[in-house]
Chain A
């Protein structure tokens, strides 16, 4: 996103949105940020499942898009943790319900679609496009619109089910207005958190964008703008000021079969062909459960052990976000281990099962394959 436009926008918002923000207390801000962390995380299991369902050495376009998006969601999760820590909130990725049970609505309240754990397919891609959909029509005004006027909406406001946001972008815009409002009221005392809990750029690498410490209103705003800009490209067209393509448009390339190039208008990529082989995919069970594998002890134990590993991983992240940011270095190899464990499950057919797909669905038929279930509560 553009720094210039960011500054202009936030100045404008401070003037005329303080009266309209739903976030008027620090407690409400904590609640929104908690929801935001849940939201960022909730997208990761679906993205990883789709990513690892691709046959190795095939589908390089889909592989790259899914990988980049998933990694940036991890950056966003960490950025929100920084925002939460900056304003003295509590970060806990191990809290009951933090990991949703799939299928799930997004934790920001978007109600017109559910998110599945599923293999990569045209239907899965449609869901991903909805997750990342632009907050407003790209040719609309740069400033975000309050979502109350809409009913075909996704994101409920914490504490007020009547207030919904059309998109993740608008949800974050509300958070930004809340920061502005509370900063006007409390000044820099808003940022009462322990600065040693901030995870800085030295703990994050290889995912377009820099992890920023949040210590004041400027760094808070720029962290939020980074999340909005990378995700849905609010008001910035398909590309942000760093010429990075927003997630929505990255996914759209796979749907349209064509890459964007600089200067392209949203929804009209003109770059090279973007090839997708929908058949080079392991047809995994949709929204799998450990209980479904009861007839196959080895496979079930592998699924249970994945969930245990993932739960431990979230506990490690929680420690990292609570004053030991250096643990994030240790967390990285564990992420690759998560990949290794996930692919073992996904390459295993479930004996005796069969997946049949409609003629319109290019996903291969045959035995259904296992997949990580991401069930945390039973651990």
Chain B
């Protein structure tokens, strides 16, 4: 996979997660997540997802959101893949694709629910999204819990 493909995956992921590319790459998990999706559903399916994203032409705004929902998230084949990408970034876990998807498209090897890596859990976007700290990892410092949550995005 070339860097171009990784860039496209990051651009897609930024739009799906509402985190920017620097924040996503800053988790150190970009390669691992793209490799996971490629491995489980195949590069062809991932390319279809990337192409669908590239094809969204509207500038940022309501029309673009609508296009994204219609052509990607609402698509029976691409929608579950896109939602799995979101979950990867937010919790560092690959969730088994929904039964309806598997029944139509066939079960894939390795499509079981699992945590990508120990580090992926600590890097989940869930934590910065809620201004909290992954339990048991990335020590936040004594008494940090007496401070209000840090919601940098708001």
Per the 8 Å Cβ criterion, residues 121-143 of B in contact with A are 138-143
A71 to chain B, nearest CB (A): 12
Q: Tell yes or no: A86 within 8 A of B by CB.
A: no
Q: Tell yes or no: B43 within 8 A of A by CB.
A: no
A343 with B28, Cβ < 8 A, contacts A56-B119, A205-B142 known = yes
A332 with B118, Cβ < 8 A, contacts A298-B20, A347-B26 known = no
Per the 8 Å Cβ criterion, residues 25-52 of B in contact with A are 25-28
Contact of A349 among B25, B141, B147 (CB under 8 A): B25
Asked if A56 and B28 make an inter-chain contact with CB atoms under 8 angstroms apart, the answer reads: yes
Number of residues on chain A facing chain B (CB within 8 A): 24
Q: Tell yes or no: B100 within 8 A of A by CB.
A: no
Which A residues are in CB contact (< 8 Å) with B150?
337
A55 to chain B, nearest CB (A): 8
Asked if A348 and B25 make an inter-chain contact with CB atoms under 8 angstroms apart, the answer reads: yes
A57 to chain B, nearest CB (A): 6
A298 to B25, CA, bound (A): 12
Asked if B118 and A57 make an inter-chain contact with CB atoms under 8 angstroms apart, the answer reads: yes
A340 with B141, Cβ < 8 A, contacts A333-B147, A348-B26 known = no
Which B residues are in CB contact (< 8 Å) with A332?
141-144
Asked if B25 and A329 make an inter-chain contact with CB atoms under 8 angstroms apart, the answer reads: no
Q: Tell yes or no: A61 within 8 A of B by CB.
A: no
Contact of B144 among A336, A347, A348, A349 (CB under 8 A): A336
Which A residues are in CB contact (< 8 Å) with B119?
56-57
Which B residues are in CB contact (< 8 Å) with A335?
141
Closest to B119 in A: A56
Closest to A342 in B: B26
Which A residues are in CB contact (< 8 Å) with B25?
347-349
B96 to chain A, nearest CB (A): 25
Asked if B141 and A336 make an inter-chain contact with CB atoms under 8 angstroms apart, the answer reads: yes
Asked if A348 and B141 make an inter-chain contact with CB atoms under 8 angstroms apart, the answer reads: no
Closest to B139 in A: A336
Asked if A344 and B23 make an inter-chain contact with CB atoms under 8 angstroms apart, the answer reads: yes
A57 to B120, CA, bound (A): 11
Which B residues are in CB contact (< 8 Å) with A343?
26, 28
Q: Tell yes or no: B21 within 8 A of A by CB.
A: yes
A57 to B118, CA, bound (A): 9
Asked if B22 and A298 make an inter-chain contact with CB atoms under 8 angstroms apart, the answer reads: yes
Asked if A344 and B26 make an inter-chain contact with CB atoms under 8 angstroms apart, the answer reads: yes
A351 to B25, CA, bound (A): 12
Q: Tell yes or no: A345 within 8 A of B by CB.
A: yes
A333 to B141, CA, bound (A): 5
Asked if B22 and A344 make an inter-chain contact with CB atoms under 8 angstroms apart, the answer reads: yes
A347 to B120, CA, bound (A): 14
A362 to B20, CA, bound (A): 32
A336 with B147, Cβ < 8 A, contacts A298-B20, A343-B28 known = no
Which A residues are in CB contact (< 8 Å) with B26?
302, 343-345, 347-348
Per the 8 Å Cβ criterion, residues 318-338 of A in contact with B are 329-330, 332-337
Q: Tell yes or no: A39 within 8 A of B by CB.
A: no
Q: Tell yes or no: A299 within 8 A of B by CB.
A: yes
Contact of B140 among A57, A336, A347 (CB under 8 A): A336
Closest to B14 in A: A298
A345 to B27, CA, bound (A): 9
A179 to B40, CA, bound (A): 68
Which B residues are in CB contact (< 8 Å) with A329?
142-143
Interface centre among B23, B117, B118, B141 (most CB of A within 10 A): B141
A329 to B147, CA, bound (A): 11
Interface centre among A55, A205, A330, A335 (most CB of B within 10 A): A330
B110 to chain A, nearest CB (A): 22
Per the 8 Å Cβ criterion, residues 253-302 of A in contact with B are 298-299, 302
Closest to B7 in A: A351
B116 to chain A, nearest CB (A): 12
A339 to B125, CA, bound (A): 16
Closest to A329 in B: B143
Closest to A205 in B: B142
Closest to B118 in A: A57
A88 to chain B, nearest CB (A): 31
A220 to B139, CA, bound (A): 33
Closest to B143 in A: A329
Tell me the A residues contacting B by CB distance below 8 Å.
55-57, 205, 298-299, 302, 329-330, 332-337, 340, 343-345, 347-349, 351, 367
- Besides A298-B20, A298-B21, A345-B26, 11 more A-B contacts (Cβ < 8 Å) are A205-B142, A299-B22, A332-B141, A333-B141, A333-B147, A336-B138, A336-B144, A343-B26, A344-B23, A351-B7, A367-B3
Tell me the B residues contacting A by CB distance below 8 Å.
3, 7, 20-23, 25-28, 117-119, 138-144, 147, 150
**Closest 10 A/B residue pairs (Cβ):** A344-B26, A333-B144, A333-B141, A332-B141, A347-B28, A298-B22, A56-B119, A348-B25, A336-B141, A347-B26
What are some 6 contacts across the A-B interface (CB < 8 A)? A57-B118, A57-B119, A330-B143, A335-B141, A347-B26, A351-B7
